[in-house]
Amino acid sequence: MVERKHDTRLYGTVKVGDRGQVVIPAEARKELDIKPGDLLFVMAGRNRRGIAMVKADAMRKFAEKIMQGLKSQKKKDTKHNACGEDRCSEVEKKYADGYKR
């Protein structure tokens, strides 16, 4: 294994078999706790020069954290219906609600 900056690790090279299969190196499987039957997301970057695999349960946990963050942000950012802005001034709110001078 070769360590690179940002704690990126290179576990070696693998060969793609006739059916498109690759064998994940044992050191990677052990360190990343990948076991037979685990589901992996296979993704490509924008440049389409390589792939990355992420355990499905790790992606699920990541998505749950994003959703929790969105829910808590939604509670903080209450939009005022009349003006549509996130944080209307009190004067704008009164005016939008029919406040007469």
CA distance 43 to 40: 10
pLDDT score at 101? 46
Q: In angstroms, rounded to a whole number, what is the distance separating the alpha carbons of residues 44 and 62?
A: 18
Q: Residue 40: what pLDDT?
A: 94
Q: Where are the alpha helices (DSSP H) in the chain?
A: 26-31, 56-76, 90-96
Tokens of 39: 């589901």
Q: What does the pLDDT profile of the chain (101 residues) look like in tens digits?
A: 655 556 788 999 999 999 999 999 999 999 999 999 999 999 998 888 889 899 998 888 888 888 888 777 766 655 555 555 555 566 565 556 555 54
- Residues 6 or more apart from 92 whose CB is under 8 A from it? 80, 83, 85
Residue ranges and CATH numbers for the domains of the chain are: 2-57 (2.10.260.10)
**In the prediction, which pLDDT does 22 show?**
94
